[in-house]
Structures are given as C-alpha cells and as structure tokens.
C-alpha cells in the first residue's frame, strides 16, 4: 500500500488534460459491465489487471496481485456499518471506487454487483 508520504510529490503535480491516449498500444479500459458481477468472481477476475493513471506526462501503473471480496453482511466490510454519504460508492452500481485511509495507507475498493458488495485491492506491484 502507498503511504501518504509516497503520494505527496504526486499530489503537487498538475493533472493531465483529458485524453484518450493510453500508455501501451492495444491497452483499453475495462467496460462498466465488467464490474457488475458477484464480489468473489470480480475479486478473481481483477487479479493480474493493471490500474493506470496519468499525472502530467507520467503514467503510473500497478498490477493487481491480491484481492478480497466483501459482502454487505460481512463484519469486516465498511458497508455492514450501513449507508452514509461517505460510503455511498459501496452501495452504487459495480465499478464505483471507494477509498479510505487505514493502517498508514490508502485502501482502494471497487463496488461489485449488489448493494454493499465490493472488492478490496489488497496488494499490487508497481510497473515501472
């Protein structure tokens, strides 16, 4: 996980102008429908996928190597605490991002099919 100190230099960079260019030929974003599936299935299907983000002229990317599926009824899920404005992404259609800060780093989750179901991106490997 990234610590806040690791993100500080990136936060100072200006975001890129909106563009459709991607860092590698043939790379394409996942369709929204990809995320509209059961959380356990989505967790498996996300393994090996690459998350990419452009900051200025720099492309950042990380390959997903570990995930965890959470359902509304799981006590370890933030969604089990109920709907709030802060947690609304967990109750949205599949593919919405829910982030929170825990244990010295940012945590990334994607909502899955069904209210309160999501996948935590537990670990990743940076691609340089």
pTM of the model: 0.78
CA 9 to chain centroid: 20
Q: Are 124 and 62 in contact (CB under 8 A)?
A: yes
Domains, the chain: 4-10+33-127 (3.10.300.10)
Query: pLDDT tens digits, residue range 32-58?
Result: 999 999 999 999 999 999 998 888 888
Q: Is the dihedral of CA 60, 94, 98, 71 positive or negative?
A: negative
Q: Are 68 and 43 in contact (CB under 8 A)?
A: yes
Average confidence (pLDDT) over 5-31: 60
């Amino acid at each position: 996980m990234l610590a806040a100190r690791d993100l500080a230099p990136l936060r100072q960079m200006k975001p890129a102008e909106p563009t459709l260019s991607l860092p590698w030929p043939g790379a394409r974003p996942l369709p929204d429908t990809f995320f509209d599936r059961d959380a356990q299935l989505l967790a498996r299907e996300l393994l090996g996928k690459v998350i990419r983000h452009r900051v200025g002229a720099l492309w950042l990317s990380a390959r997903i190597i570990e995930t965890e599926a959470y359902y509304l009824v799981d006590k370890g899920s933030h969604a089990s605490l109920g709907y709030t404005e802060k947690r609304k992404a967990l109750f949205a259609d599949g593919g919405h991002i829910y982030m929170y800060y825990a244990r010295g780093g940012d945590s990334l989750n994607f909502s899955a099919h069904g209210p309160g179901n999501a996948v935590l991106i537990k670990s990743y490997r940076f691609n340089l």
